Amino acid sequence: MEKEVKSMPNKVTLEIDRKVLLVIFLAVAGVASFILFSNNEASANPIEEAYNALKTPSAKKLFYDQSEQLTKEVPKRLIELDEKTIGCFGPSKIMQMSALEGNLGGQCCGALKDIESYDLQMQVLEEFIEDHGSIELIPKDPYDITVERAQQLASFDQTVKLSQEQQKIYDAAMQSSHHGGPCCCKCWKWYVMSGLAKELIVGYGWGSEDIAELWDVSSSCGHDEDTNMHKHYRTKERKHAH
């Protein structure tokens, strides 16, 4: 009888030990699952991380559209362009800006979603500039223009006066350009490209075809109709190849 009494605590202890081990196992498994899930969550959301890192509402809005509601990765260069100073404000605002505010960007009418179209446009614009004497005044990237250059070109729109014959050249360029003018709307970019055109007509003897082509390959409105210009750019590309 005494031996049986002594063996009972051992059974109870063994049962308790089993329960403790089960609790420990479940706890460890839970922690491991949480860590694995957290790691997967972190690695599966670089798109959200990129979105959250953007500092301005306009950049976030553009990224949201480009990523198709945060479901698609956005190329690094497009993210860089989203962070420029963007807006459909007039020339008076840029004349008051400081260079410390950052470069001026395009996309005021819509998001630039096609990186291939952008790359092709930059290639064609580079060739166009080279073919026309590499004039320093012409912005090399219409989606990324320094404040100083924008201010200089916008001032030309007021200070450069066209003769009657020169005005006809400007008007002919308006009629034949893709947007019917220097830009798709009369924002700051319109006056920048208008001033550039006037300076090129007066100071460099440019004709209407060159001005219209410059406006076309320097477009930066960003909307679908503007960014889906592969055929337009390839036409320019073929023209320069001959």
Confidence of residue 175 (pLDDT cuts 50, 70, 90): very high
How high is the pLDDT of residue 28?
58
Q: Phi then psi for 113, rounded to 5 degrees?
A: -105, -20
Average pLDDT of the segment spanning 219-234: 67
| Distances from the Cα of 75 to the Cα of 58, 175, 224, angstroms | 17, 35, 18
Farthest CA pair distance, the chain: 126
Which pLDDT tens digit goes with each residue over 69-125? Answer: 999 999 999 999 999 999 999 999 999 999 888 999 999 888 999 999 899 999 999
| CA gap 24, 136 in Å, rounded | 72
CB atoms under 10 Å from CB of 83, counted, come to 18
Average pLDDT of the segment spanning 191-213: 98
Q: Dihedral of the CA atoms 157, 94, 113, 71 (nearest 10)? A: -170
Q: Which H/E stretch holds residue 15?
A: helix 2-43
| Distances from the Cα of 43 to the Cα of 37, 38, 48, 71, 117, angstroms | 10, 9, 10, 14, 29
Across 4-8, 34-38, 63-67, 107-111, the highest mean pLDDT is recorded for 63-67
Listed in sequence order, the residues at least 6 apart from 177 whose beta carbon sits closer than 8 Å to its beta carbon are 211, 212, 215, 216
Tokens of 157: 């729109």
Whether 194 and 116 have beta carbons less than 8 Å apart is answered as no
Confidence of residue 1 (pLDDT cuts 50, 70, 90): very low
Confidence of residue 238 (pLDDT cuts 50, 70, 90): very low
Residues above pLDDT 70, as percent of the chain:
74
Where are the alpha helices (H) located in 132-181, listed in sequence order? 147-159, 164-176
| CA gap 213, 34 in Å, rounded | 58
| Residue 3 predicted with pLDDT over 50 | no
| CA gap 81, 152 in Å, rounded | 22
Residues above pLDDT 90, as percent of the chain:
67
Q: Residues, the chain, total?
A: 242
Average pLDDT of the segment spanning 189-216: 97
Q: Which residue has the higher pLDDT, 149 or 17?
A: 149
